[in-house]
Amino acid sequence: MPMMTAGNYQPLITTNGMFIIDEIIDRKGKIHQNVAGGGGMFAMLGGCIVSPNRRVAGSLRWIVDCGYDFPKILKERIESWQSGVVFREDLTRETTRGWNGYGDDDLRQFKYLNEKRSITAADWREFGMDNILKIECVHLICSGERCSSLIKQMKGLECYPKVIVWEPVPDLCDKAHFADISGILQLQDDYTVIFSPNAEEGARLLGDKEPFTVEEVVQCIWKFDKILSDRHVCVLRCGRLGSVMLTSRDNDTGKRTLKRFPAYHEDDISKVIDPTGGGNAFLGGFCVGYTATANLDLANICGHIAAGCVIEQMGVPEFNPATREWNGLTLVQRLDRYLKRNPSLVLHKSDQICRLLSNRWE
């Protein structure tokens, strides 16, 4: 089983999310085949979008399981992102494939078209045991039960990330699985869990109806105040409403802070072509922003930059490695656009944010 890696830089971020080749039925009924997909892929793509240089992108370690049907053009495109990707080949099986259909209000339906190959913490041995010890941030897409198992696996590998960004499996965000999920959120350990369902999933987990306004989202997220242990954080991803965050408790006041961050295309939703992967990309951008700066505000901003870029087309955005432009815009240009529309969020200028993102890797 040949293994190829493109990352020679210090590994800091990884994911247990998979790569999936998607078939997408868009809102007009058009069929798109052989589209790069999967929550892990979109998360790492989001991280690459907010990486100001190759060194930062190279710290993203992730696995792409390739079957005998893996398209060469997809491999070349992923390699162009200059991340620390590992292509793991198994010519005895097909690449994992999925079907995505969209209806009203971008309601997504998904199903696997063949047998999937999940990624466990043990699979990260592909990066090398010395690299596992350096990982600081882990993006997980899983159930509460599997999250608990992965945390135990990581400890067995002596992988002790400072942050776990947890995206719960959408179908399992309900009252029946509340105990499993809340059990993880109430753990008190040496890491911080940033729990991030979308707004509908978060409400459903609590037994509530989907929130459609900012006010309803705010009411929903405050209910997590009593569920989260003091150091953990909740970020509800709200599509066109942006994101709403409930921070960890302040050591002095014992209270949490609530903040909202607008979506990148909030002022022009006509730029949104396909929402597939937007939430995953948000969390990948969030991982890079938070690992680099330890600042939750900047992490949310990075998340929206990444998500805004990913949803501008069907499939993945176009990348120019020479200029580091995604769909024709650099990271600085995207930050300029976002911060100009949201002056209250401005902590630093765009070029200063890029330096902060770079400094962590120098």
Measured over the CA atoms of residue 201, residue 122, residue 23 and residue 329, the dihedral's sign is positive
Average model confidence (pLDDT) for the chain?
93
- What is the domain partition of the chain in residue ranges? 3-359
Burial of 242 (0-12, 13-18, 19+ CB in 10 A): buried
d(CA 307, CA 304): 5
Residue 104 has what pLDDT? 62
- Classify residue 84 by its DSSP letter: E
Residue-wise burial string across 264-286, b where 16 or more C-beta atoms lie within 10 A, e elsewhere? bbbeeeeebebbbbbbbbbbbbb
Q: What is the mean pLDDT of residues 266-275?
A: 91
Q: What is the mean pLDDT of residues 155-183?
A: 96
Does residue 348 surpass a pLDDT of 90? no
- Angle, CA 342 vertex, CA 337 and CA 316 arms, to 5°: 45
Residue 10 has what pLDDT? 82
Q: What is the pLDDT of residues 222-248, one digit of tens each?
A: 999 999 999 999 999 999 999 999 999
Q: What is the pLDDT of residues 92-134, one digit of tens each?
A: 999 999 998 876 665 678 899 999 999 999 999 999 999 999 9
Q: What is the mean pLDDT of residues 143-171?
A: 96
- Angle, CA 88 vertex, CA 324 and CA 327 arms, to 5°: 20
Show the DSSP H helices in 206-277 as ranges: 214-222
Whole-number percent of the chain with pLDDT over 90: 85
Token duo for residue 173: 């965000």
d(CA 236, CA 234): 6
d(CA 30, CA 38): 20
pTM, rounded to two decimals? 0.94
d(CA 13, CA 291): 8
Q: Under CATH, to which class is 3-359 assigned?
A: alpha beta
Q: What are the two backbone dihedrals, phi and then psi, of residue 310, each rounded to the nearest 5 degrees?
A: -65, -35
* Cβ 261 vs Cβ 271: under 8 Å: no
